[in-house]
Structure 1
Amino acid sequence: MAMDMRESGALSLVSGPSLREQARTVIRGQIITGQMQADQLYSVPRLATELGVSATPVREALLDLAREGLLEPVRNRGFRVVALSSNELKDIYAIRTMLEVPSIAEIARAGLAPAQLKQLRALAEVTKRAADAGNLIEFLESDRKFHVELIATLGNKPLADLVETLRDRVRLHGFKSGKSREYIAHSAAEHFQLLDLLAKRNEAGAVALMQKHMERSRHVWSEGRET
């Protein structure tokens, strides 16, 4: 399915049975890159016009994102991006650290099956291609999928779902750092490094890298809030 998810590209969607999913992906991308602001209202007709589709899949996508906690409905007016304070961001990163770092340690101890490694390396490749192209929205979407699928190898779906939700919540700040190309290039490269360490069951190395990976992310999203 063709859809332009570049930060400043056209937003038109192609026809098909998954317009709702495509709209949700594009709108989520606008939220996490800061293109949709918390101090503005967004109506279904306005977004439908921008996306070049009917109102129904857009309304469904907005309701999905509201259920995920990224948007809040404003009666008879539209939707607003949920605001996230600096303290809330700090708290969410603390929770993510408590969840994701020990999970990486557990994955390293248990090891990954060859099929799991193959799938994760394929996701890392997608993330790298997006980073190389400077496609921020596609990078953030594939980065999210990589980390959620990595945690999912533990077989704990509630944990994977919680990690996914928290990652989306962090990105309510909007990514506005002028160093986005540098950040996504580093992050994409670290995905491969992390998989190499996990393949060797190097628990200490994998934990240290994951901590560094998350700390860099925390600083970038904090910068986005402060600018």
Structure 2
Amino acid sequence: MTTPPEVVEPLPRARNVRRAVSERLRSALISGRMVPGKLYSAPQLAEMLGVSATPVREAMLDLVREQMVEVVPNKGFRVRDLDDRELDELVEIRLLLEAPIMAEIAATCSGDIAASVRALEPVSIELEDAARSGDLVRFITLDTEFHSSFLALHGNRTLVNVIREFRGRSRLYGLQKLADAGLLEQTAVEHRDMVRLALARDSNGMAELVRHHIAHIRGEWAAG
């Protein structure tokens, strides 16, 4: 088993090695440098990163829990290959869950809920900046924070955890191509629109926008 040297770059010195390793590996996954179906060993990745194998194994096990990679006993880790059927199923479930919940949040957006929604506007602006700069890891991190925080206003913690898992599993390859084409920035702008619609208490508009937003996964995102 061989791993091409361009998969991950050496890490600079960092106080939190595990976090730095996790961010570097996640970047390789999101950008498509770590290829679906290919085997990667912790020692080989550790050598590329210039760290010991332990933080690499820990970071990869975190990705296993997110169902982004899977363990291959006695060999290493394999990046999961999400087929069309599984992606369609995840998109369908997210449409069934997120659109009505976000619409309900918009319908009840007043008082403390409205204040929490306003607090998400800076996150939406940061998302647009990450999209413009092509910082895919930062984009995914902010995107997860935005949607998790928004959905948490419904008050169902289990729902938030379930959707976070589905979002991780529907993480798409080739995001770099979308960033290069400017499509990622178009998607990022929709987050600020969600804030606007919620504050306007436009539940129908919110449901329509969320359906459109999730459809990106099966449209231009998957095509990327």
TM-score, normalised by the number of residues in structure 1: 0.85
Name the structure 2 match of 1:43.
41
Q: Given that residues 176 and 223 in structure 1 are in contact (C-alpha distance below 8 angstroms), is that contact kept between their aligned partners in structure 2?
A: no
Looking at structure 2, the residues matched to 42 and 204 of structure 1 have their Cα atoms a distance apart, in angstroms, of 46
Q: Given that residues 106 and 202 in structure 2 are in contact (C-alpha distance below 8 angstroms), is that contact kept between their aligned partners in structure 1?
A: yes
Name the structure 2 match of 1:214.
214
Structure 1 window deviating more from structure 2 (45-54 vs 154-163): it is: 45-54
Where does the alignment leave 5 or more consecutive residues of structure 2 unmatched? 1-6
TM-score, normalised by the number of residues in structure 2: 0.86
Give me the CA root mean square deviation: 2.1
Name the structure 2 match of 1:147.
147
User: Are the structure 2 counterparts of residues 142 and 13 from structure 1 closer, same or farther at C-alpha, using a change threshold of 3 Å?
Assistant: farther
Counterparts in 2 of 1:176-191, with a 5 A limit? 178-180=177-179, 181-191=181-191
Deviation of 1:104 (Å): 0.7
Name the structure 2 match of 1:3.
none
User: Are the structure 2 counterparts of residues 156 and 21 from structure 1 closer, same or farther at C-alpha, using a change threshold of 3 Å?
Assistant: farther
Where does the alignment leave 5 or more consecutive residues of structure 1 unmatched? 1-7
Number of positions where the alignment pairs a residue of Structure 1 with one of Structure 2? 215
User: Are the structure 2 counterparts of residues 156 and 196 from structure 1 closer, same or farther at C-alpha, using a change threshold of 3 Å?
Assistant: same
Q: Given that residues 71 and 81 in structure 1 are in contact (C-alpha distance below 8 angstroms), is that contact kept between their aligned partners in structure 2?
A: yes
Q: Given that residues 31 and 176 in structure 2 are in contact (C-alpha distance below 8 angstroms), is that contact kept between their aligned partners in structure 1?
A: no
Deviation of 1:178 (Å): 3.5
User: Are the structure 2 counterparts of residues 60 and 177 from structure 1 closer, same or farther at C-alpha, using a change threshold of 3 Å?
Assistant: closer
Q: Which amino acid aligns with 1:223?
A: A
Q: Given that residues 8 and 28 in structure 2 are in contact (C-alpha distance below 8 angstroms), is that contact kept between their aligned partners in structure 1?
A: no
Counterparts in 2 of 1:41-190, with a 5 A limit? 41-111=39-109, 113-171=113-171, 173-175=172-174, 178-180=177-179, 181-190=181-190
Secondary structure at the aligned position of 2:77 is classed as strand
Name the structure 1 match of 2:4.
none
Q: Which amino acid aligns with 2:131?
A: A
